[in-house]
Amino acid sequence: MAAGKAFKFGSIILSPSVVFFRSKLSFGFVNIKPVLQGHVLVSPFRVVKRFADLTEEEVSDLFISTQKISSVIQEEFNASSLTISIQDGPDAGQTIEHVHVHILPRKKGDFENNDDVYTALAEHDKPGLEKRSNGFARKGRRSEEEMAKEASKLASYFDNI
């Protein structure tokens, strides 16, 4: 499991225990307030606000990492599909000023209206009780222990932690 140095996600310092994947330039970590069970994030190590500010090497690494992680998420959470999304800038719903890719495992009927996933993404980190059409409800943020347990399970798919 990830040990030692913490990871920077915008102005947030992430515990190594929530990180399950590392590549040369990117890392994957579990979400403190997932829209769906298995909703994870992939981000470059370098803190960059906007997608256009990434180098070509960072873009390549970020998307290769996203592809590798996506396969694991789909298998681990028995998904038939995936939503892969970047909210690039505040008017697109980005709340953390650090480029990151959302990976959400999807199943038929997980939202009453399929595109409601984007509304849920835009609102998922707001405080309070969240009740969604998919029945997934949670109050507040997950504990670090809960997140570390999920990260440990996901890390077992990779040999880079």
Domains along the sequence of the chain with CATH: 8-134 (3.30.428.10)
* Half-sphere exposure at residue 8, Cβ-oriented, CA atoms within 13 angstroms: 10
Catalytic residues: 100
Mean pLDDT of the chain, nearest integer:
89
Q: Which residues are annotated as a binding site?
A: 31, 87, 102
Contact yes or no for 42/69 (Cβ under 8 A): yes
Q: Which long-range contacts (CB under 8 A, 24 or more apart) does 54-60 make?
A: 54/99, 57/25, 58/25, 58/26
For range 75-83, the mean pLDDT: 97
Q: Which residues are annotated as a binding site for substrate?
A: 31, 87, 102
Q: Is the pLDDT of residue 95 over 50?
A: yes
Q: Is the pLDDT of residue 140 over 80?
A: no
Q: Is pLDDT larger for residue 119 or for residue 124?
A: 119
The three-state secondary structure class of 94 is: coil
Q: Residue 45, by phi and psi: left (phi above 0), alpha (psi -120 to 50) or beta?
A: alpha
49, with CB counted inside 10 A (0-12, 13-18, 19+), is middle
Reported pTM? 0.88
